[in-house]
Structure 1
Amino acid sequence: MGKGKKVVDLEPETPYHTLSVDQVAQELATSTLEGLSSEEAAARLQKYGLNELQGDGGVKWYKVLWRQVANVLVCVLLIAAILAFATNDYPEGGVIMFIIVMNALIGFWQEFNAEQTMEALRNMSSPTAQVIRDESRITIPNNQAVPGDIMIFEDGDVVGADCRLFEVFNLETDEALLTGESLPVQKNLSVIESVDEALGDRLNMVFSSTTVVKGRAKGIVTSTGMQTQIGKIASSLMSVDSSEKTPLQKRLDKMAYMVFAAAIVLVIIVFGVHKFVYSKEAAIYAISVSIAIIPEGLVAVVTLTMAFGVSRMAEFKAIVRRLSSLESLGAVTNICSDKTGTLTQSKMVAVRMWLPLEGYFRVTGTGFIPEGEIYRQGEMVDGQLKEENEQRIVNGAGSNHFLRTLQAISLCNMAELRRTQHPETHGEWTAIGDPTEIALQVLAYKTGLSKPDLIGQGFELVSEFPFDSSVKRMSALYQSPPTKESPGEYFVFTKGATERVISCCNFWREGDKEHSLINEKGGKRAEFENMISEKMTALAERGLRVLTIAYRKYEAVAGVDLVHGLDRDEVESNLVFLGLVGIYDPPRAESRPAVLQCYEAGIRVHMLTGDHPATAAAIAKECAIIPDDVPTVNNPLVMTALQFDQMPDEEIDRMEELPRVVARCSPNTKVKMIAALHRRNLFAAMTGDGVNDSPSLKAANVGIAMGQSGSDVAKQASDIVLTDDNFATIVQAVAEGRRMFINIQKFIQHLMSANVAEIVVLIIGLAFKDRTGNAVFPMSPVEILFLNMITSSPPAMGLGLEPPSPSNMREPPRSAKQGLFSFEVVMDTFVYGLAMGILSFANFCIVVFGFNGGELSSGCNSAWSEQCEGVFLGRATSYASMTLLILSHAINCRSLRESGWKPSNLKTLNQNKMLWLSVVIGALLVFPVLYIPGFNTNVFKHSPLTYEWGLVLAAVVIFNAFAELYKWIKNKVMKPLGLEANSQAEMDRMRTYMTQNTQTDSAIDTKRE
C-alpha cells in the first residue's frame, strides 16, 4: 500500500463476510499485493492498540505485595513483634517490624521486576504472524498485527486475528473453540449474502485463536484484540493460570512447613525447660528460637535467582515458557534433536540431480540467489564423477525429460522468490517458504523455468495436496496452457521421500520413453527399485537430502469437483518416475562442539530426522553423533523409523543402547522414543517444530520448540522456545539449568546452615539460667533477625548468581528424583551448622565463665547493668563469631568438594561482585552494631568488644580448617562428582559397540529364520 493512503475508521460490526475482497481492501485501505507500509502499520497500532486480549493479564503490584506478607515466615515474625510490644520491649518490637517491612519491600521490588521480566519474555515467546509489509513477507509478534495487514496462514498455524480470506488452497480450520464443531471447516472465497450468518458458516473468514489443520491461505485482517470474535465472547479462554506452582516452589513450600513444624517443637521445648510457666523471658526466648530456624530471606533469594536465570537464557536465545523447565534442564540425560535447521544451517542448496539415461547433473551457486550453472556429468566411472566430461546446460534447453522434471520441481512448490523494491533493500533476493522448497525453486530459476514464468505461460493451479508428515510427499494438480486444439491438459506433479513416491509409481521415464512397472513386482520393478536405491544411496552418502520427482497426466472425470472433490490416494497413483534431486544442508559450525560437550556432560544425543538413512548417517558423523569411521548399514545405532516402530517394547528394552540416529522419522516414532527413554528412567529433552510434534513435546520431560521454523501449536506445547533453532542453544540451556539448580542448592545450604548454627547456640543456651530460673540468651532476638536478614541473605543472593563452575558440564546429570535436598547437601547443612554453632557458643562460654566469673544475673535478657556486663560481652562475642562464620561459610559454599580458599577459586570470585561485596559489607556492619552507644546495649543487648576479637578470629580460623578437612575426607570417601568418561571415551565406547554389533544381511536373515 502507498504511504499516502488514509486509514479509514472501522465499524466493529462491519459484516466483512458479505463484502467482496476488493470491497474489504478498499474499506481497510490496504493492498492484497503490497500489504501495509511499516509507517502505516505503526500508525494503526497506535490507533487500535495491541492485538491481544484484555482481562487478568499483566503484573498487578498489589498481588505481588500481598505475596510478600501472606506467608508462614512473615506470620511468625508478626507474632514475635506482637509479643515484644505486649511485653513492653519496644526497641525489639520496632526492629522486628522494621525487618518485616524491609523484607516485604525488598521482596516486592525483586518479584515485581521479575514478574515484569517474565511478562516481557512471555510476549517474546507468544505466537507470531506472517504478514506482508513493505512488499515483503515478514514475521512479527502476533500482538503487532493491525487491521488491514495481509496475513499468511499455513498448516499448523494459530490464526492471529479475524481475517477475510482472498487466497485459499485446501484450507481447513479447527473452530471448536468458537463454534463447538469438532470437525475441521473447509474454507472458500464465496461472498455470503446473509449479514447474520452463523460464525461456523462464514466460510470466507478465519477467526482469531482457531487453528489451521490443513492447507494454506492469505487474508486481510479485519479485527484485532478485543474486537475479534474470540475477544467478544471468550476472553477467559485465553487466560493462563500463572498461579500453578512449579515443582521447585512445591519443594520449598514443603520445606517451609517442615521448618515451621520444627519451630513449634522448639517452642514447646523452650516452655518445657521453663516448666510450662509463662513469663516474658520464656516467651521471648521461644520466639527467638522460632525466628532462628526460619530462613526469612529465602523467598526473595529464590525470586532473584529465577529471574536472573530466565533473563540469562533469553540472552542466548532460549525463551522459557514454563519455570518448571528450569530445574528440569539440570536432569536431562538424553537430547532428541531434529536435523534440519537445528543441527544444520537450514540453508539448503540443490547441488545434484539424477535422471535415468541422462545420469547425474551438477548445480553451482549458493543460497537462494538464483545464479549458477547446471552441468550434465553422466554416470559415475569407478564411483567418481569427472568434471572434465561435463556438459553445460543452457537456460531453457535440455531434453524433454529434463524440462518436464524441472516443471515438476517448479510447480509442485509453495516457495516464493522475490527481488525487493523497498528503497533500503532494492534489488536483493528474498525467499518465502520451506527451505527445501526454496532450494528447489532456486534450481528452477537457474534453468529459466521458475514458477512465475510457468504461471505466466498459462499453467494454472487447480488443486493441491500439501506435504503431510504421514505420507511424506506433496502433490499439485495443474492445467497446462490451452492451445487451439484443446483447452489444456491436466498434470499431477509430485515430490517427496523416495520410498513414499516410488510406491505410487507404476511407470518410469527414460528419455522420451515411459516404461511400465505394472505387474512387474518380481522382475522389472525389483530391478528398477534397486537401481533407484543405488543412485539414492550414492547421493545420500555424500550427506545430501534426496527427494524424488514424479508426474502423471490426469484425465478429468465429468461431474468431479477438481478443487475439493479429489481423492488424494487416487490422484497420487499411477505416477511416472522422473528423477532424483540431492539437496545439501551443511551442519552448523557449532553443532559438533556442542555434541561433544554433551558427551562430556554425560548426555547422549539422538538425531530423529525425516531424511534418508544414508543422509542422516552422513550428517550424524559430521556432527559427532556417531563415530565417522564405522559402517552404518545394519547397525543398531542407525535405524529407520519403520524398523524402530515395528519393534515391540520388550525388544527395545532389551537393547543395550537405543539408536542414536532414526531416519524417515514420523511424529509417532518420536513419542515411542520418549516412552523408551522413560522406561529406562532417563530424562529426555525433545525438539519439534510441526503440529504433529506436539504429542512428543508434551511427553518429553522438557519440550523444546523451534522459534523460527516451528508452528504455533508446537510452541504452545513446549516448555522452551529457541529463537535461533540452534542445537548449541539447547546445550547452553542445559548448562544454565544445571547452574541454576546447583546455585539454589548452594544458597539453601548456606541459609539453613546458619539457621542450624543459631538453633545449636540457643538450645544449648537453655542449660544456663539466671537466679530467677529464666534461660539467659546467648544471642538476642534482634541479633538473630539481623543475622538472618542482613548478614546471611545478601551472600545467599550472591551464591544464587554464581557463574557456572568449570566442571558444570563435566558432571553426570543429577537424578530426576534427587531434588534439591540430596544426602550430601543435607549432611553438609548439619555438619557446617553444628560446627558454627559449637564455635560460637564456645566463645560465649569462654567470655562469660572464663573471663567474667560466670556471673548470670537476672534481667540480663532485657537491660544492661554492671552485673550483666559479662553476659553482654559473651553475647557480643557469640554474635561477632556467628557473623564472620556465616560470611566465610558463603565462600565455603561455592563448591561442595573444592576448597573455597584456593587461589584459583578466589580469582573467580571477581566474577561475582554481589557475593564478595555482600561478604565485605556484612563484615563491616559488625562494627556499628557493636560500637554505636545505646544502639548496641538497648537494641542488640550486647557490649563493645576489645580483646574478645582474638576469640572471634580464632573461631573463624578453626572453622575454615575444619571445612577444608571435611571436604578432604569427602573427596576420599565419597564417589567423585565428575565423570570419568569424556567425549573421546564416549566415541570409543560407541565405536566398539557399533563395530561389534554390525551385522551382514545374511547374518540378519539367518537370525530371523
Structure 2
Amino acid sequence: MGKKVIDLEPETPYHTFSVEKTAQHYSTSITEGLSSSEAAARLKKYGANELQGNGGVKWYKVLWRQVANALVVILLIAAVLAFATGDFAEGGVILFIIIMNAAIGFWQEFNAEQTMEALRNMSSPTSKVIRDETRCTIPNNQAVPGDIMLFEDGDVIGADCRLFEVFNLETDEALLTGESLPVQKNLDHIESPDQPLGDRLNMVFSSTTVVKGRAKGIVTSTGMKSQIGKIATTLMSVDSDEQTPLQKRLNKMAYFVFLAALILVLIVFAVHKFQYSNEVAIYAISVSIAIIPEGLVAVVTLTMAFGVRRMAEVKAIVRRLSSLESLGAVTNICSDKTGTLTQSKMVAVRMWLPSDGFYRITGTGFVPEGDIFRQGDSTDGKHYEQDEQIPSGSGSNHYLRMIQTASLCNMSELHRTQHPETHGEWTAIGDPTEIALQVLAYKAGLAKPDMVANGFKLIAEFPFDSSVKRMSVLYQIPGSNMGPSEQMIFMKGATERVIGCCNYWRDGDNEHPIHSEKGTDGRAAFEAMITEKMNTLAEKGLRVLTLAYRKFEAAPGADLVHGLVREEVESDMVFLGLVGIYDPPRAESRPAVLSCYQAGVRVHMLTGDHPSTAAAIAKEVAIIPEELDAANSSLVMTAGQFDSMTDEQIDSLDELPRVVARCSPDTKVKMIAALHRRNLFAAMTGDGVNDSPSLKASNVGIAMGQSGSDVAKQAADIVLTDDNFATIVQAVAEGRRMFANIQKFVQHLMSANVAEIVVLIIGLAFKDNDGNSVFPMSPVEILFLNMITSSPPAMGLGLEPPSESNMREPPRSAKQGLFSFEVIMDTFIYGLAMGILSFVNFVIVVIAFNDGNFGSKCNSHYSPSCEGVFKARATSYATLTFLILAHAINCRSLRERGWTYANLSTLKQNKMLWMSIIVGSLLVFPVIYIPGLNENVFKHTGLTYEWGLVACVLVLFIAFAEIYKLIKRNVMKPLSLQESAEAKVDRSATDVDSFMVK
C-alpha cells in the first residue's frame, strides 16, 4: 500500500539564506517557534516527516503467512480426500474452516502488526522543538518546515535545518557524504548555491547524528524533500519479520507435532496392514488433524499484540518483541537515579561558601520565587527565624561570584510564557540540574538573560561529558564593581572532578593557594574540609555540585573558538563553593522496589551522584536497609572502587553492590558482565550516548523516552515514555503475565489435542461389521473441537490478568523454555484424563446401551444400524467439548484451586474467556440436534439420556483436577517466594522536612 506523494516547493539553497531570510521564508520566530495550530496546518500541507516506501504493514504478506504453513497443508489434503471420496459435506466444512481460520488469523495479525507498527513509530527518534514558546518533544514524523529544532549530544537530527545558534557542534554525516570524521558546524554565510553537501557547514541534515555540542536550527526540509529522502534510505528501519525466541520455540514445537502426526498416520496404516482405502486415509488424516493445534498461531499473535498494547498503556514502548518475553526472566534491574527513581524536579536548597558558611534557599520547582538565607555554619536548619535574608542582587563579592558562575555556566533557559492558554506560567528548557541552578540565579537577582543583556558574552563552551563530569564556559565579562572588563572561565561539576582542577580557593575577597605549607599538606587539609561539608549535604540526600572560576588571559591572536584545549583551560581554577540540589524520590519508587524484592528481583542503583547522596536516596526507596552503614558496606561502592576490582575479586563478593556512585558508562558495562558471570538476567536503564554499550550488553536494554538520547533509544529494547522506575517493574510484571498466559493456553490447546489422540488411537481397536476401524469422532468434529471449541478459550487464557502471585514468584530461568516439566506433565495428565473419560462414554453408549453393534460403514453415512455408533460419537463429542471448556478453568492456574467461588467470580475480569466458555457450551446443541448438519456433516445424532453420562464425567473430571492440584501443592516446591528481608524494610517515609522548606 503506497503512500501519497506530496509535491513540495522546488529545492531551495537554504545554506545561502541568512537566518532572518530563512525565518521570514517560513514565517516563524526563532524564539517563540510555531503555534500548535500552525504546526498542525503545516503537517497537512507538507505531509508527515517520514520516508516513503520504507516498510509498513503489507496485507498480502500477512495473508500469505496464514495459508503458507503445514497446518493448512494438512487440512487441504483432508479436504481433497473428502471431495475425492464423494463426501462433499465434509470437504466443504474443512474448506470453510480453512477460510475462516485464515480470515480470523489475518484479521488478528494484521491489526496486531498495525498496532506494533504504530508503537514502533512512537519509539522512533523524537525531536525537541519550540512550539507555543515552550520546548516540547514531538514524534519525529510530526516535525514541519518552520519548526525551531534543538539538538544536543547523541541526538539523531530529525530534519534538514538552517542553523542559527551553535556551540561546539559536530555531526556525523557519514551516511550522506561518506566522510568518516565528524563535521564541525558554524554559522558562516555561504554564497555558492552549488556548495557540496559536506561543505554546507551552516546546515544539519536529517538522520545524521550529533557527536558533540548543541545547537538550534530552523527546519527547512522534511520527509522525501530532505537530503536523506533524496537518496531514499533510512537509518531507523525495523525488521517487521523479526522472530522472537518464543516464536522460534513454537516453530520447533510445530515441527515436532508435524513429525508426531506422520508417526500417527503410519500407526493407523500399520493397524490396517498398510491396505489403502478411503476410510483408512480419512482416519489417518483425522488423527493427524487431531494432534495439530490449528488455533495456535492466531492465539500467539493475539497474545503478543495484547502484551505490546498493555506495555504501551503503562508507558513502556516495545521496540523488539524478544524483550517482551525476556522481561519475565529478569533477576536484576540496574537503574539510574535521576528522573527514574526520583522526580527529576530538582531544586537548589543549600549552598556552602568557605567565607560565609551555609545558605538556605526556599521555593520549589523552577518557579523563581523564594528567598535565600545565610545560616553561617549552622547545619540543623531548625532556627530559620535567626537566619539572615540576602536581598536580591546583593551579598558579598564571593556570594555574587558564586551566583554568577551558577547562572553563566549553564545552558538552560527560563522564561514566562505569553501563550494565551498558559499566560504567566514559568517554563524551562534544559537539563534539570542546570534549571535548578538557573532558578537559584533568578532568586538571587542574577538571571542569565539580564547578565547577557548587560554585556556578558559567551565565547566558548566545553560541554558536560560523562568521562570528565564537569562543564566549563569562557565569557567576556564587562566592567563592574568587581573589576574591569576581562575574560573569565566558569566551571561546575562533580566535586572530586572540579577540585582536581583547582589550585586556589576563595575566602571572601581573597584567593588562597592550595599547597603544602610548613610541613602541612595544604591540599589534603583543603580536600578534607570540602569533603566534610560535602558529606554534610550529601547525607541529607542532596546532589552536590562544586563551582569554580578563574580569570583567563589568552595569547594575542589566539583562536578562542577552535584553538582552545580543554585540559589547559580547565586548570589552575579557583574553588568557590558547593551547591546542594534536592531531587525528591517518586512516590511510587519505594513500593516498586519492594515489589521487586517480593518477586525475587534485585535492584541496583547506578548513579553519577556522590556516594552519600546515592546512599541516602537508596535508603529512601528501600534499595538498601535504612540501618545500613553505607560508608563501611560493600553494598555501596564508588565507580572507582568497583572498577579497580578484578573480575575474580568481584566474583568473590557475597553480593554485588546495590549502589554504585560516581558511575561511568564503562562501570555499567562491567556491572552487566559481573551479573552475567553469575548467570543472572539483567535489565539496564540508560539515557546518554555512552550508555549504548551497556544497553546492548544487558539482556533487556531500557532507554528513557523523555531524557534519553536517540542513540540510546536505538540501542534499547524498550523505551519508557515517562522515565519512571515503577514502569520498569510494571513491564517486568507484564512480561511475567504474558509468558505465564502463553504457557496456559499452550497447555490448554495441547491437552485437548492429546485427549483427541487418546480417543482416536484407542478407537482403532473397534471394528465395524466390515472389519474397518470405527471413528470415535469424525474429522469435522475434530476440526470443530480444535477451531471453535478449544481456540477461543485459549485466546481468553492469553488475555488473563496477572495472578495474585505474579510478582511473588521467582524469576523463571532464562534457559527455561516454554515447556517446563510441570507444563508437560499437566498437558499429558489432563489430556489422558479427558481422552479416557470421553472414550469411556463412547464405549458405554455403544456397548452397554446398544449391544456392541458397530454397524456397517458408519464412518461415512447414517443408517439404522449405525444409530448406536452415531449416539456414542455424539456423546463422546459432547463430553470432550465440556471437558475442554472446563479445562480452561483449570488452566487459569497451575496449582491453585480453580473451582472455588472466589476464583470463578474473577472470570468476569476476562470477558473473552467466560464468553468463549458460554458460547462454546451453547454451540454443542445446534451441532447435535440440527437435522442434516448432525448426521451428514458431523456424523452423529441427537442425545437423550446420554446427557447424564456427560454430566457425570464432567463432575468426575473437575474432582480429579482439584485432587491433582492438591497433590501438586503438597508435593512440589512452592512457586511463591517468602517475603524477603529486603521487602520487610520499614515502609515509613523518610523524613526530608529537615532540609526541605515548604
Q: TM-score, normalised by structure 1?
A: 0.95
- In structure 2, what is the Cα distance between the partners aligned to 1:985 and 1:424? 46
Residues in 2 aligned to 1:245 and 1:948: alpha-carbon distance in whole angstroms: 48
Partner Cα distance (1:142, 1:485) in 2: 47
For the Cα contact (< 8 Å) 1:191–1:204, is it kept in 2? Answer: yes
1:993 match: none
Residue 464 of structure 1 is matched in structure 2 by 461
- Classify the secondary structure of the residue corresponding to 1:547: strand
CA distance in structure 2 between the partners assigned to 1:291 and 1:540 by the alignment: 68
State yes or no: 1:687 paired with 2:685.
yes
**What does residue 408 of structure 1 align with?**
405
Counterpart position of 1:66: 64
Aligned 8 A contact 1:350 1:443 in 2: yes
Residue pairs, 1:348-359, within 5 angstroms: 348-359=346-357
1:747 to 728, 741, 745: 745
The secondary structure found in structure 2 opposite 1:235 is coil
> 1:19 deviation in Å?
2.0
* Alpha-carbon offset, residue 196 of structure 1: 2.3
* Kept after mapping to 2: 8 A contact 1:599/1:986: no
Q: Is the 8 A contact 1:330 1:813 kept in 2?
A: yes
Q: CA deviation at 1:359?
A: 0.2
Q: Are the counterparts in 1 of residues 492 and 498 from structure 2 also a CA contact under 8 Å? A: yes
1:388 CA drift (Å): 4.2
Deviation by residue 1:696-718 (Cα, 9 ceiling, x = unmatched): 11111111111111111111111
Bigger drift between 135-144 and 679-688 goes to: 135-144
CA distance in 2, matches of 1:311, 1:565: 52
Q: Distance in 2 between matches of 1:723 and 1:200?
A: 35
Asked if residue 475 in structure 1 is aligned to residue 472 in structure 2, the reply is yes
Relative to structure 1, the CA distance from residue 568 to residue 385 in structure 2 (aligned partners, 3 Å threshold; closer, same or farther) is farther
Kindly provide the amino acid, as one letter, of the partner of residue 821 in structure 1: F
Residue in structure 2 matched with residue 994 of structure 1 by the alignment: none
With 182-191 and 52-61 compared, the bigger mean Cα shift is at 52-61
Match of 2:384 among 361, 384, 387: 387
Please state if 1:500 is matched with 2:497: yes
Of the candidates 282, 285, 289, which is equivalent to residue 284 of structure 1?
282
The corresponding residue for 1:206 is: 204
The CA RMSD measured in Å over matched residues stands at 1.7
Q: Secondary structure at the match of 2:854?
A: coil
Q: How does 1:898-913 map to 2 (within 5 A)?
A: 898-913=896-911
Cα offset for 1:237?
Answer: 4.5
> Aligned pair 1:78/2:76, yes or no?
yes
CA distance in 2, matches of 1:20, 1:924: 75
Aligned residues of 2:397 and 2:482 also touching (Cα < 8 A): no
1:173 counterpart SS class: strand
* Counterpart residue identity of residue 320, structure 1: V
List per-residue Cα deviations over 1:481-521 (Å, max 9, x = no partner): 15899983110000000000010000000111111124669
* Identity among equivalent pairs (%): 78
Contact (CA 8 Å) 2:327, 2:736: kept in 1 or not? yes
- Counterpart in 2 of 1:591? 589
Q: Secondary structure at the match of 1:494?
A: strand
Runs (5+) with no aligned partner, structure 2: 1-6, 987-998
Segment drifting more, 112-121 vs 400-409: 112-121
Which stretch of structure 1 is more off in the superposition, 242-251 or 787-796? 242-251
Partner of 2:725: 727
Q: Is the 8 A contact 1:54 1:235 kept in 2?
A: no
Q: Secondary structure at the match of 2:463?
A: strand
**Match in the other structure for 1:1004:** none
C-alpha distance in structure 2 between counterparts of 1:247 and 1:484, whole Å: 70
* 2:641 match: 643
Q: Deviations over 1:150-178 (max 9, x none)?
A: 11111111100001111100001111121
Give the 3 Å change call, closer, same or farther, for CA 192–484 of structure 1 in structure 2: farther
Q: Is structure 2 residue 856 aligned with structure 1 residue 858?
A: yes
The alpha carbon displacement at 1:852 in A equals 1.0
**Aligned partner of 2:38: which letter?**
E
CA distance in 1 between counterparts of 2:16 and 2:8 reads: 15
Give the C-alpha shift of residue 115 in structure 1: 1.4
| TM-superposed deviation, 1:123 | 2.2
Q: Does 2:353 match 1:360? A: no
Confirm or deny: 8 A CA contact 2:311 2:731 kept in the other structure.
Answer: yes
SS state at 1:925 partner? helix
3-state SS, counterpart of residue 469 of structure 1: coil
| Whole-angstrom distance in 2 between the partners of 1:596 and 1:165 | 48
Q: 1:895 aligns with which of 893, 896, 903?
A: 893
- With 762-771 and 938-947 compared, the bigger mean Cα shift is at 762-771
CA apart distance, 1:858: 2.4
1:153 counterpart SS class: strand
After the TM superposition, which residues 542-557 of structure 1 pair with which residues of structure 2 at under 5 Å, given as runs? Answer: 542-557=540-555
CA contact (8 A) 1:12 1:227 kept: no
Deviation at residue 28 of structure 1 after TM alignment = 2.4
- Alignment of structure 1 residues 665-684 onto 2, 5 Å: 665-684=663-682
Question: 2:330 touches 2:601 (CA, 8 Å); kept in 1?
Answer: yes
Question: How many angstroms does 1:983 deviate by?
Answer: 5.4
8 Å Cα contact 1:841/1:878 also seen in 2: yes
1:513 matched to 2:501? The reply is: no
Is 2:451 aligned against 1:454? Answer: yes
Superimposed CA distance per residue, residues 630-689 of structure 1 (whole angstroms, 9 cap, x where no aligned partner): 211021000000000110111101111000000000111111111111111111111111
**What is the aligned partner in structure 2 of residue 974 from structure 1?**
972
Whether 2:565 is the aligned partner of 1:570: answer no
2:395 aligned partner? 398
Deviations along 1:222-276, one digit per CA (max 9) or x if unpaired, are 1100111111114254432211211111111111111011111111111111111
Equivalent residue number for residue 250 of structure 2: 252
State which of 764, 782, 785 in structure 1 corresponds to 2:783.
785
Check if 1:840 corresponds to 2:838.
yes
Match of 1:334 among 332, 335, 354: 332
Tell me, what secondary structure is at the counterpart of 1:23? helix
Give per-residue Cα distances to partners, 1:274-309, cap 9 Å, x unaligned: 111110000000100010000001111111111111
Name the SS of the counterpart of 1:633 in structure 2. helix
Aligned-partner Cα distance in 2 for 1:136–1:846: 79
Residues 126-154 of structure 1, C-alpha deviation per residue, up to 9 Å, x if partnerless?
Answer: 21111122222222111111111111111
- 1:871 and 1:918, CA in 2 relative to 1: closer, same or farther beyond 3 A? same
After TM superposition, give the deviation of residue 337 of structure 1 in Å. 0.6
Match among 128, 131, 145 for residue 130 of structure 1: 128
Structure 1, gaps ≥5 residues long: 1-8, 989-1009
SS at match of 1:57: coil
Residue number in structure 2 paired with 1:523 = 521
- More deviation, 310-319/604-613: 310-319
Which amino acid in 1 is paired with 2:497?
Answer: R
Contact 2:755 2:835 in 1 (8 A): yes
SS of 2:311 mapped into structure 1? helix
**What residue number does 1:26 align with?**
24
1:421 correspondence with 2:418: yes
Shift of the alpha carbon at 1:592?
A: 0.6
SS of corresponding position for 1:414: coil
